């Protein structure tokens, strides 16, 4: 079945550092890929998405590129802020499907 | 985007009792889902709430334990029945199929603690 593997956290960075959170997936065909973010005490929010190979999703300075050849969708940000501290979830849906399959989540803590 | 509200936002319940969680979407949506997020874990899909018919449950979840209703295109309920401490989780409702296809919006979650 479909699955998503994320790098384990927690990840602790200093403000303005570069962020990469790795995400790889296993799925048949061409899934849609998502990054969701969960801020402390809040619900899940869609951060960005990509629906086909080589697409780049971007939002709030975060980017992720759909790499079919490496089955990856790594999340990057050039300069993190304290306000980016949250748990980040990589997820996919099968093409034409609706069921979201989530990774285990990566906690990010950004310090001054 | 869809705005989703859930009630209650949190509750503390006794073992053996049941709790019904409500999910309201501010617009009509095609699909609604219920997820569970156990402490420190990722989200696991419990079931798809089908309007006008029985919910579709994922492996490991059964209707007797998690009965679901969806009377219309904007509302659904999830009941956690005969609760035990292992049911302590955050339960999240999500919706899809409004103005933006293939994007799910999530409610704020219901934090349930079973003593």
Of A32, A36, A102, the CB nearest to B102: A32
The alpha-carbon radius of gyration of chain A (Å, integer) is 13
Q: Name which of B93, B104, B107 to mutate to probe chain A: the one with the most chain A Cβ atoms within 10 A of its Cβ.
A: B104
Closest CA to B37 of A1, A38, A35, A46: A38
Residues of chain A with pLDDT under 70: none
Question: In Å, how far are A9, A27, B2, B56 from A101, measured between CA atoms?
Answer: 19, 10, 21, 16
Q: How far apart are alpha carbons A60 and B103 in whole angstroms?
A: 18
Q: Do A100 and B31 touch (CB under 8 A)?
A: no
Q: CA-based diameter of chain A, in Å?
A: 43
Evaluate whether A48 touches A63 at the Cβ level (below 8 Å): yes
Q: How far apart are alpha carbons A10 and B55 in whole angstroms?
A: 36
Q: What is the pLDDT of residue B103?
A: 76
Residues of chain B with pLDDT under 50: none
Residue in chain A lying closest to B41 (CA): A104
What residues have CB less than 8 Å from B8, skipping those under 6 apart? B21, B110
- The CA-CA-CA angle for residues A49, B103, A71, to 5°, reads 40
């Amino acid at each position: 079945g479909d699955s998503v593997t994320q790098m384990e956290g927690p990840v602790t960075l200093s403000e303005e550092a570069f962020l990469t959170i790795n995400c790889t997936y296993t799925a048949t065909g061409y899934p849609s890929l998502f990054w969701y973010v969960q801020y402390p005490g809040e619900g899940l929010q869609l951060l960005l998405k990509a629906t086909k190979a080589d697409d780049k999703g971007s939002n709030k300075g975060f980017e992720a590129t759909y790499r079919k050849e490496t089955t990856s969708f790594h999340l990057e940000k050039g300069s993190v802020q304290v306000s980016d501290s949250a748990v980040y979830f990589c997820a996919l849906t099968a093409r034409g499907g609706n069921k979201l399959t989530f990774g285990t989540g990566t906690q990010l803590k950004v310090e001054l | 985007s869809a705005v989703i509200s859930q009630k209650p936002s949190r509750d503390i319940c006794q073992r053996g009792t049941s709790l019904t969680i409500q999910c309201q979407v501010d617009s009509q949506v095609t699909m609604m889902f219920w997820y569970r997020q156990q402490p420190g874990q990722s989200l696991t899909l419990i079931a798809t709430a089908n309007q006008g018919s029985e919910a579709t449950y994922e492996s490991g979840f059964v209707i007797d334990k998690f009965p679901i209703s969806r009377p219309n295109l904007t509302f659904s309920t999830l009941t956690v029945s005969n609760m035990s401490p292992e049911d302590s989780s955050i339960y999240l409702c999500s919706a899809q199929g409004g103005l933006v296809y293939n994007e799910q919006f999530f409610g704020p979650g219901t934090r349930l603690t079973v003593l």
